[in-house]
Amino acid sequence: MINIKENEKLSIMNHSCAHLLAQAIKHLYPEAKFWVGPVIAEGFYYDVDLGNDVIREEDLPKLEKEMKKISKDGKRIIREEITKKEALERFKEDPYKIDLINRMNEEDTVISCYTQGDFTDLCRGPHLDTVKKIKYFKLLKVSGAYFKGDSKNKMLQRIYGICFESEEDLQKHLEELEEAKQRDHRKLGKDLKLFMTHDLVGKGMPLWLPNGAMIRYHLEKYIKDKEISLGYQHVYTPSLGSVDLYKTSGHWDHYKEDMFPKMQMDDEEFVLRPMNCPHHMLVFKNELHSYRELPIRIGELAHDFRYEASGAVCGLERVRCMCQNDAHIFCSLDQVGEEFANVVKLILDVYKDFGFQDYSFRLSLRGREKEKYFDDDEMWEKAENMLREVLTNLGLDFYEAKDEAAFYGPKLDVQVKSAIGHDVTLSTCQLDFLLPERFDLTFINEKGQKERPVVIHRAILGTIDRFTAFLLEETKGLLPTWLSPVQVKVIPVSSEHQGDYAKEITEYLKENKIRVELDIRNEKLGYRLREAQTQKIPYTVVLGDKEKENHTVSYRLHGQKDTTTVTKIEFLKLLENEIKSFIN
Ligand code: TSB
Ligand code: ZN
């Protein structure tokens, strides 16, 4: 989807459109006071204080009509430069603008204003030269926004819109927005009854409903089986740890802002863990290790808790309570290259299984704010260079980004885009020389001496939460059969005539571990078929007199009208083969 802010021409046009919106608001709501109206990636918005009035979604067409009228009228947009003193005088009725003007330091600062007909706004510009050119726009939504983003301040109304150069561009964009809305995993999650949220539980803490839990069970099994076959050893460790554990690891110094506050119990202090590394370091340290055992790969589907900003949490994509598909690989320095290659191969294998094609590799490096990172320049230089070399040797196409590393080391992140345009990390593979040091980890090398292992942190699905969000958006909710909560819907044409036969087929499939649902409600066939379709069930079996007589089943695939008639044994084989082809 287009990023308006990155397109200079559209940026100016959208900015001018924000002024046009403010002017229209002023016409219809003369008491309105304005705060700011910037251009954003999605178009523009204006924050406005309407006193006792409210603008609702249904008022937007009225505002659009007024904007069209002003545009037709075709006034020129005139830039003017005034002094701070003049500005304070001119906007004295407008407390929010006064606030803005007062923020400009120098008394003799030149302040620019833009006037179009009866409306003047304080603005740096640039703008179009006439309102006539602002023709193809749409107001998209209204929401609340605190003055200066501070919840202690008054709540203003924020009205969003977007503007293009032609009607075709606008229509194309609106279609894309509608498609993104349909693909948004939060909508799919609700429609398909996969997960819910509740204020009483808290923000960023989704509850997985039976359908979602079924997907999760199979995803977890899929990745765990795969990892075990690759030599990973899975463990279970507690979701809490002592504050001392996180002081030892360095999280307490460098990751505290992202953690829930500590809990006191008797004379001990605990935290909900934000990561599992410290626990896994102790698992490694529990035994003496020889070089012959390395690499040791400790895996866990582990629950973590992070204090994500309330404005940033988003469905299953960004949560405060998550389940990582985590592992820590302990290896010698000369095994790093091969182990990294193995992890990248596993990531690519998994993406192939799910048909993901749109992703990019990001080498995430340390940023300038050194206090966010463990302070050892030499260690960072070594780790970053080593990782860059490993990725170059792998022939991987990657880009570099500063200030995206973990506090303990650089990362290879796999970036994907969500339906509504968020750029998020799915898989990650990280190089760490720090935690082995902090936990004083060693193994006995070939010379019989103690040597420090290197740790590779990696998450293939990332978290089950974020992976499910992405998978839902990629598949538009139509999951592959092996993952579908319900794989087959059985529908008799008439429950009176073929009801018993439909029950028999349902039982047969169920006994053979197929997730099947029977619909013998007294509803029209078309209605029941449509419902199976909106539930995104991969197979629908329709049973009429012919099927009952010949002991056959007629099935159709989701989204297709043609049916195929086979025996129930053939149908089962077909399902089993399809499922097997994914899981093995
Ligand atoms: C891989 N210690 C490492 C681990 O060993 C670690 O925690 N890395 S992480 O911080 O990058 O998190 C791993 C993955 O969790 C990320 O790649 C991302 O896919 C996922 N993730 C991170 N934060 C969230 C969140 N708030 N909601 C959902 N998933 C998240
Ligand atoms: Zn880790």
Q: What is the pLDDT of residue 84?
A: 86
DSSP code for 99: H
| Cβ(297) – ligand 1 distance below 6 Å | no
Angle at CA of residue 478, ends 472 and 479, nearest 5°: 70
Mutate to test the pocket of ligand 1, among 427, 466, 467, 468 (most ligand atoms within 8 A of CB): 466
Among 154, 150, 143, CA closest to 51: 154
Instruction: Say which ligand is closest to the CA of 281.
Output: 2
- What whole-number distance in Å separates Cα of residue 508 and Cα of residue 491? 15
- What whole-number distance in Å separates Cα of residue 446 and Cα of residue 26? 80
CA-to-CA separations, 153 to 11, 145, 210, in angstroms, rounded: 29, 10, 41
The answer to whether residues 304 and 274 touch, using CB atoms and an 8 Å cutoff, is yes
The answer to whether residues 372 and 254 touch, using CB atoms and an 8 Å cutoff, is yes
Cα of 278 vs centre of ligand 2, distance in Å, is 8
Q: What is the pLDDT of residue 546?
A: 95
The answer to whether residues 28 and 62 touch, using CB atoms and an 8 Å cutoff, is yes
| Cβ(321) – ligand 1 distance below 6 Å | no
| Cβ(273) – ligand 1 distance below 6 Å | no
- C-alpha dihedral sign at 77, 82, 84, 90: negative
- What whole-number distance in Å separates Cα of residue 162 and Cα of residue 140? 7
Helix (H, G, I), strand (E, B) or coil at 419: coil
Residues marked as catalytic: 277, 306, 324, 326, 328, 411, 457
Beta-ladder partners of 364: 401, 411
The answer to whether residues 455 and 328 touch, using CB atoms and an 8 Å cutoff, is yes
Instruction: Say which ligand is closest to the CA of 460.
Output: 1
Here the tokens at position 143 are 């929401």
Within its chain, how far is the Cα of 145 from the centroid?
Answer: 22
Cα of 416 vs centre of ligand 1, distance in Å, is 14
- What whole-number distance in Å separates Cα of residue 109 and Cα of residue 103? 11
457 Cα nearest atom in ligand 1: 5
- Name the closest-CA residue to atom 14, ligand 1: 462
413 Cα nearest atom in ligand 1: 17
- What whole-number distance in Å separates Cα of residue 403 and Cα of residue 238? 30
Cα of 397 vs centre of ligand 2, distance in Å, is 24
- What whole-number distance in Å separates Cα of residue 82 and Cα of residue 371? 43
- What whole-number distance in Å separates Cα of residue 483 and Cα of residue 217? 9
Tallying the residues shown for the chain, one arrives at: 584
| Cβ(416) – ligand 1 distance below 6 Å | no
280 Cα nearest atom in ligand 1: 5
- What whole-number distance in Å separates Cα of residue 89 and Cα of residue 333? 69
- What whole-number distance in Å separates Cα of residue 480 and Cα of residue 487? 9
CA-to-CA separations, 563 to 490, 499, 550, 557, 566, in angstroms, rounded: 13, 20, 16, 8, 10
Cα of 493 vs centre of ligand 2, distance in Å, is 54
Q: In what order do the strands lie in the sheet with 240-242?
A: 240-242, 268-272, 263-265
Here the tokens at position 253 are 């110094």
Here the tokens at position 201 are 């539980």
Q: How many CB atoms lie within 10 A of CB 423?
A: 10
| Cβ(548) – ligand 1 distance below 6 Å | no
Beta strands in 433-466 (DSSP E): 443-444, 450-451, 454-463
Among 341, 250, 338, 263, CA closest to 294: 338
Residues whose CB falls within 8 Å of the CB of residue 306, separated by 6 or more in sequence, listed in order:
258, 259, 274, 320, 322
- Name the closest-CA residue to atom 11, ligand 1: 428
The answer to whether residues 37 and 18 touch, using CB atoms and an 8 Å cutoff, is yes
| Cβ(572) – ligand 1 distance below 6 Å | no
- What whole-number distance in Å separates Cα of residue 219 and Cα of residue 213? 10
Q: How many CB atoms lie within 10 A of CB 264?
A: 9
- E strand or H helix that includes residue 533: helix 525-534
- C-alpha dihedral sign at 274, 277, 280, 286: negative
pLDDT under 70: residue ranges of the chain? 106-108, 583-584
Cα of 457 vs centre of ligand 2, distance in Å, is 5
Q: What is the pLDDT of residue 108?
A: 63
DSSP code for 8: H
Residues whose CB falls within 8 Å of the CB of residue 576, separated by 6 or more in sequence, listed in order:
512
| Cβ(457) – ligand 1 distance below 6 Å | yes
Cα of 316 vs centre of ligand 1, distance in Å, is 13
